[in-house]
Amino acid sequence: MTRISDSRRLQFLDQMMKSQLSRRGLLLGGAATAGALAMPRFLGAGEARAAETIRFCSWGGSIQKLQREYVLQPFTEASGIEVVEDSLPLSSRIKAMVDNDALEFDVVQTDLLTLLSLEQMGEYFEPIDYSAIAPQALKGIPEAVRLPKAVGYLYWSYNIAYRTDKFDAAPKDWAEVWDTEKFPGGRTLTSADDGQYPNLEFALLADGVAKEDLYPIDVDRAFSALDRIKSDVVKWWSSGSEVVQLFTSGEAAVGSAYSGRILTAKSEGAPVDLAWNQGQASLDYLMIVKGAPKDRAMKLIDALLAVEPSVEVFNRYNAGPANQDVLAGLKEGRAAELPSYPENLEKMYVQDSQWWADNLDDIIERFHEWTFA
């Protein structure tokens, strides 16, 4: 296995984070920085430590607006602890902060690949103290997403997306997406640019591999399956805005896309929809950066996981709460639209972040070579 340098891996992870801003509904301009994306009040490291504060890094846009309204402001009013907000939790920022003992945020919402990749380089996160989370907040969170240094917060997903005006019946699985005679039209799948993962798992599913047998990925078989669809791919997409444009313009008839983006486009009247079957579910977790004030950090995590305010957030945000009690409390019909709804989640597989952390370097290099071959 080829190992690329830590700096190159951090560069890829940072690109992935920026592409995920698009998934969350916030577009990142080329000149934007974390400071430009910061929330209304931002304190420097020294000033933040001087008062009873805790610093939280989320993703800006609609998710952080909802967190502020329903969680962060009420938390400050109840606890007296001021929440200093930041956004864009780049892996390189986390590494530099910890390495230089100059934290800019304490609690972060990010994905498991970030944790696993950084932990290969050193110690960058604190253990989660589950005894500090209220039982009523914790009981709905599955044991599988209660990790030593991360607690599951929300699900998002990649799914089969398609134009509803192109086919009499929707494609039901990836084998049908690969069937260009039954479902004619342009295809789109993820690139390996700007932090995207190539859709190797979807290629294997199209080739007949059961979702329970995807990992470890048979890389040669996946690329062989991609060979069969390569000439029909009109664009290897890199951002949520790009893939939505491909579908709304009609350039792509079927392919992969973020569920939240497709659901939003559908609600706005675009002739698009998605299939939950054989989708890829991924999670954002809440983590504590190494060296952060742990007592205050756990108080904030407890507030972010509380059921009632989370219901308000996820009634309005197109991602699925990891907490099943939050899901059960959503308004009528809402839960069924989200990836963590049990009937949707059971149709999907959960990405194996450890496999990707161990193999990311080789896959990105091979995909780039294959794309241009």
pLDDT value of position 28: 28
pLDDT value of position 201: 98
pLDDT value of position 12: 67
pLDDT value of position 360: 86
For the cut 80, the answer to whether the pLDDT of residue 36 exceeds it is: no
Query: Could you report the per-residue pLDDT of 103-147, keeping only the tens digit for each?
Result: 999 999 999 999 999 999 999 999 999 999 999 999 999 999 999
pLDDT value of position 195: 75
Q: What domains can you pick out in the chain, each with its CATH number?
A: 6-155+283-338 (3.40.190.10), 157-281+357-371 (3.40.190.10)
Query: Could you report the per-residue pLDDT of 51-71, keeping only the tens digit for each?
Result: 699 999 998 888 999 999 999
pTM score: 0.86
Sign for the pseudo-dihedral over CA of 46, 51, 53, 59? negative
Tokens (6 digits) for 90: 């780049």
pLDDT value of position 324: 97
> Which of these ranges, 192-201, 226-235, 292-301, has the smallest mean pLDDT?
192-201
For the cut 80, the answer to whether the pLDDT of residue 27 exceeds it is: no
Query: Could you report the per-residue pLDDT of 258-282, keeping only the tens digit for each?
Result: 999 999 999 999 999 999 999 999 9
Phi, psi (degrees; rounded to nearest 5) at 365: -65, -45
For the cut 80, the answer to whether the pLDDT of residue 30 exceeds it is: no
Please tell me the chain's helix, strand, coil percentages from 3-state DSSP, rounded to the nearest 5.
45, 20, 35
pLDDT value of position 196: 87
Percent of the chain at pLDDT above 70?
Answer: 88
Q: Give the side-chain half-sphere CA count within 13 A for 208.
A: 2
Q: Give the side-chain half-sphere CA count within 13 A for 327.
A: 24
For the cut 70, the answer to whether the pLDDT of residue 82 exceeds it is: yes
For the cut 60, the answer to whether the pLDDT of residue 224 exceeds it is: yes
For the cut 50, the answer to whether the pLDDT of residue 49 exceeds it is: no
Question: Span 232-240, mean pLDDT?
Answer: 95
For the cut 50, the answer to whether the pLDDT of residue 50 exceeds it is: no
Which long-range contacts (C-beta less than 8 Å, at least 24 apart) are formed by 310-313? 310/70, 310/71, 312/66, 312/69, 312/70, 313/63, 313/66, 313/67, 313/70, 313/71
pLDDT value of position 13: 74
pLDDT value of position 3: 56
Residue the block writes with tokens 């664009």: 235
For the cut 50, the answer to whether the pLDDT of residue 26 exceeds it is: no
